Amino acid sequence: MGESLSHPVFLVEELPTADTTVLAGPEGRHAARVRRMEPGQRITLSDGAGGLARCTVNSVADATLGLVVHERSFVELGEPQLVVVQALAKGERGELAVELMTELGVDAVIPWSAGRSITQWHSERGDKARRRWVSTAREASKQSRRAWLPVIAGLHDTAAVAARLGAASAAVILHHAAALPLSEVPLPAGGEVVLVVGPEGGLSPDELDAFTAAGGLPCRLGPTVLRTSTAGAAALAALSVRLGRWS
């Protein structure tokens, strides 16, 4: 996914082009008031799309940091990209899933309105819930010091998920009763690996049929049944090792 970042990361809309800059707005307030950054400390600015600028703090005001820019770099997006179709989950479990998957390197998350999802997103409630997923991914990216923010897609129904699986380089359906372990699934060198995580009640037979017809391969993670909030993260960890992302 990218190089290791050893200093606190703050997100900006655009990286500075000059040798000095000011970090203001919400990120500047957080750096000055919450993180209590001091002159001489190092930070990294990220545009969330692979661009990085390593800086030293040279002044601190009430809600801004003055910075000296030392180095700029760009981190390529990993190949293949890891995309998780995450069924909507009750309570805060959906946000927990997004947080964990972001920390573990997911490139995109697709919210899916599964038939057995206890929670459903409708109109304003759905918009608000998706914004929470976006905010969660943003904060988890900063905490884990990622160079790329994961994409949080719009809500998908089952037909839209099947279409995404059909276009993927590899499509995997996590299913506790599958005979094939995830560790033996053939992986492509590029494109997208799309992984489906079902809801608390599991995939319905019709959903499983639709996804397999689209080219999805049912696979199991192991001998235990994981929650919908943790299954995607566990699968990402296993795939990251196999793909050399964690080498």
Does residue 214 share a domain with residue 140?
yes
CA distances from 222 to 5, 229, 238 (A): 32, 16, 11
Which pLDDT score, from 0 to 100, does residue 153 have? 97
Strand-pairing partners, residue 245, are: none
Lowest mean per-residue pLDDT among 122-131, 168-177, 186-195, 200-209: 122-131
Place of tokens 């299913």: 175
**Residue numbers of the domain that contains 124:** 81-242
DSSP symbol at 198: -
Percent of the chain, pLDDT > 90? Answer: 88
Residue 155 placed within a domain = yes
Does residue 94 share a domain with residue 43?
no
CA distances from 97 to 49, 207, 233, 244 (A): 22, 21, 7, 23
Residue 70 placed within a domain = yes
Express each pLDDT in 145-190 by its tens digit.
Answer: 999 999 999 999 999 999 999 999 999 999 989 999 999 999 999 9
Higher pLDDT, 124 or 163: 163
Does residue 5 have a pLDDT over 70? no
Does residue 90 share a domain with residue 62?
no
* CATH number of the domain to which 47 belongs: 2.40.240.20
Does residue 234 share a domain with residue 117?
yes
Does residue 157 share a domain with residue 85?
yes
Does residue 1 have a pLDDT over 60? no
Does residue 218 share a domain with residue 127?
yes
Does residue 85 share a domain with residue 65?
no
Express each pLDDT in 56-100 by its tens digit.
Answer: 999 999 899 999 999 999 999 989 999 999 999 988 999 999 999
pTM greater than the 0.85 cutoff: yes
How many degrees, rounded to 5, is the angle at CA 108 between CA 106 and CA 110? 120
Query: What is the C-alpha to C-alpha distance for residues 167 and 160, in angstroms, rounded to an integer?
Result: 11
Does residue 151 share a domain with residue 67?
no
Does residue 100 share a domain with residue 210?
yes
Q: Mean pLDDT of all residues in the chain?
A: 94
50-63: b (≥16 Cβ within 10 Å) or e: bbbbbbebeebeeb
Burial class (CB in 10 A: 0-12, 13-18, 19+), 130: middle
Contacts of 75 (CB under 8 A, 6+ apart): 1, 2, 3, 50, 52, 147, 148
Fill in the amino acid letter for 38: E
| Structure token pair of residue 183 | 């560790």
Does residue 210 share a domain with residue 160?
yes
Residue 247 placed within a domain = no
Confidence of residue 224 (pLDDT cuts 50, 70, 90): confident
Percent of the chain, pLDDT > 70? Answer: 98
Does residue 159 share a domain with residue 42?
no
Express each pLDDT in 10-41 by its tens digit.
Answer: 999 999 999 999 999 999 999 999 999 999 99
Residues 204-221, mean pLDDT to the nearest whole number? 97
